[in-house]
Amino acid sequence: MRLLGSIVLLLVVGSALAYKTYSGYQVLKTAPLTPNVMPYINKMSRIYDFWGTPVVGRPATVMVSPEEASVVNSVLNRLRISHEVMIEDLAPIVEQDFAEQERLMRAIPRQPRVAVYNRYMTFDEIDAHIHETVDANPGVASLLDLGLSTEGRELHGIKLSNGAAGQPAVWFDCAIHAREWIAPPVCLRIIDEVLADPALRDLADWYVLPIANPDGYSFATTDDRFWRKTRRPNPGSTCVGTDPNRNFDFLWDSAGTYCSETFPGASAFSEPECAGIGNFIAANADSLILYVALHSYGPIILYPFGHTVDPVPNADDLLAAGTASATVIESVGGPTYPVENSAAGLYFTFGASDDYAYGIGAAGYAYTYELPGGGSGGFNPPASAIQRVVDETWPGLKTLVEYTIANPTTPLKK
């Protein structure tokens, strides 16, 4: 009995120590950014871990390790960017988050075919949920199989359709960035709603991929709460992973080092997750009218392109549809989502999924929704916030689909 007790204790301590503690990590918050500092912020973002998209006129937040803190402080000082410590030490926040998640996992078991909105679901749970949902709804739901991740996890989503030929298609993916946990429940809610309402299936074929980066998401669940990238090892480096949202084959840019949180990969589509999504989008370019990537944190709705502030040809349509969606989110009690060109904040990006879907001429409407932050001010809204975010976001996404179907736009080069 005493031996059993020791084993249990060992297991508990072992699991408690399995994750990265973030001891001494700080999060710094700058004053609102001015246009003249943006070239430097762009450069810094290749080295340091900015939380959320740095935008002109708004403060930026950057997470620094104990080793990085003094360098980042002095760089910001030299650039005359005033800043303060927003989080003194991430360790207690990370510890509480893992403890809370463990507690909720025990307290709230998953029921078959029922998405959970009062705790975060694991990758395996969501995969099981997808399979059960497909099996239980023949003729309406079918498996979206985009291949395997680097570590061999299935890239599975759902297609929801009324079965008619020639329907327009809309796409939603969630959690391509591993730590952005508030996104998958929104994808699951889309599935719930479209399953329940045949009228929505008469509007379009819906493709929903709840976890676009399965390896990263699983790693963030067990080992590293703020993991962002994929989990492909980089040759000769201890720094693992590629930023999947810099790995798409549209204006892919090789700049970046292995250890950067925005490392774009060895080549475009080096990541099987990105290739799986990208190839599907290209193969369905004729029917796809809307592409949406759900990220955190904002709130902000971004539309192409990320590499230039020059407006795309149908920028007015992109702005109008995004604004219609944002208005609804606000009207149901959600936050105000500004709707902006991705590069308008002068934070330039290459190889992002939304720019790919738009840039290859597939979806005339393409967006990144940065869902609200929370918890420490970032990627970890408490589980108690999930239901609210899902409730306020879904009406906006429904409006986005209705609007984009009612107001056809011209894709880049279809």
Q: Which residues bind Zn ion (CB under 5 A)?
A: 177, 295
DSSP state for residue 30 in the 8-state scheme: E
Contact criterion met (CB below 8 Å) for 184 and 174: yes
Which CB sits closer to Zn ion, 201 or 295?
295
CA distance 144 to 149: 14
Catalytic residue among 68, 180, 370, 392: 370
Choosing from 53, 213, 376, 404, the residue that interacts with ligand 0X9 (CB under 6 A) is 53
Considering the rule CB under 6 A, would residue 173 count as an interface residue with ligand 0X9?
no
Taking the complex as a whole, the smallest distance from the CB of residue 106 to ligand 0X9 amounts, in Å, to: 30
Which CB sits closer to ligand 0X9, 19 or 303?
303
- Residue 28: which of 66, 76, 61, 77 has the closest Cα? 61
Considering the rule CB under 6 A, would residue 161 count as an interface residue with ligand 0X9?
no
Which CB sits closer to Zn ion, 177 or 201?
177
Considering the rule CB under 6 A, would residue 364 count as an interface residue with ligand 0X9?
no
Q: At what angle do helices 123-136 and 214-222 cross, to 10 degrees?
A: 130
Choosing from 134, 352, 363, 383, the residue that interacts with ligand 0X9 (CB under 6 A) is 352
User: Which does residue 53 touch among ligand 0X9, Zn ion, none (CB within 5 to 8 A, set by kind)?
Assistant: ligand 0X9
CA distance 335 to 414: 35
User: Which does residue 119 touch among ligand 0X9, Zn ion, none (CB within 5 to 8 A, set by kind)?
Assistant: none
Backbone torsion region of residue 95, taken as left when φ is above 0, otherwise alpha when ψ lies between -120 and 50, otherwise beta: alpha
What's the half-sphere exposure (Cβ side, CA atoms, 13 Å) at 281?
33
To 10 degrees, the CA torsion angle through 93, 38, 304, 252?
Answer: -90
Choosing from 19, 25, 30, 52, the residue that interacts with ligand 0X9 (CB under 6 A) is 52
Choosing from 59, 157, 256, 306, the residue that interacts with ligand 0X9 (CB under 6 A) is 306
Choosing from 302, 318, 329, 383, the residue that interacts with ligand 0X9 (CB under 6 A) is 302
Considering the rule CB under 6 A, would residue 61 count as an interface residue with ligand 0X9?
no
Considering only 11-19, 195-203, 317-325, 346-354, which stretch makes contact with ligand 0X9 by CB under 6 A? 346-354
Considering the rule CB under 6 A, would residue 245 count as an interface residue with ligand 0X9?
yes
Residues 257-296 interacting with ligand 0X9 (rule: CB under 6 A): 295
Say how many C-beta atoms besides its own lie within 10 A of residue 107's C-beta.
Answer: 9
Classified as helix, coil or strand, 284 is: coil
* 236 CA to centre of own chain: 28
Which CB sits closer to ligand 0X9, 46 or 159?
46
Considering the rule CB under 6 A, would residue 179 count as an interface residue with ligand 0X9?
no
User: Which does residue 354 touch among Zn ion, ligand 0X9, none (CB within 5 to 8 A, set by kind)?
Assistant: ligand 0X9
CB-based closest residue to ligand 0X9 = 306
Say how many C-beta atoms besides its own lie within 10 A of residue 406's C-beta.
Answer: 10
Considering the rule CB under 6 A, would residue 249 count as an interface residue with ligand 0X9?
no
Taking the complex as a whole, the smallest distance from the CB of residue 96 to ligand 0X9 amounts, in Å, to: 23
Considering the rule CB under 6 A, would residue 213 count as an interface residue with ligand 0X9?
no
* 256 CA to centre of own chain: 20
271 is catalytic: no
User: Which does residue 352 touch among Zn ion, ligand 0X9, none (CB within 5 to 8 A, set by kind)?
Assistant: ligand 0X9
Contact criterion met (CB below 8 Å) for 155 and 273: yes
Which CB sits closer to ligand 0X9, 129 or 232?
232
List of residues 6+ apart from 238 with CB closer than 8 A: none
Considering the rule CB under 6 A, would residue 177 count as an interface residue with ligand 0X9?
yes
Own/partner pairs, 313-318, CB within 8 angstroms, 24+ separation: 313/410, 313/412, 314/364, 314/409, 314/410, 314/411, 315/341, 317/364, 317/365, 317/407, 317/409, 318/365, 318/366, 318/367, 318/409
Classified as helix, coil or strand, 8 is: helix
R_g over Cα of the chain = 21
Q: Which residues make up the interface to ligand 0X9 (CB under 6 A)?
A: 52-53, 177, 180, 245, 295, 302, 306, 342, 349, 352, 354-355, 368, 370
Active-site residues, by number, are: 370
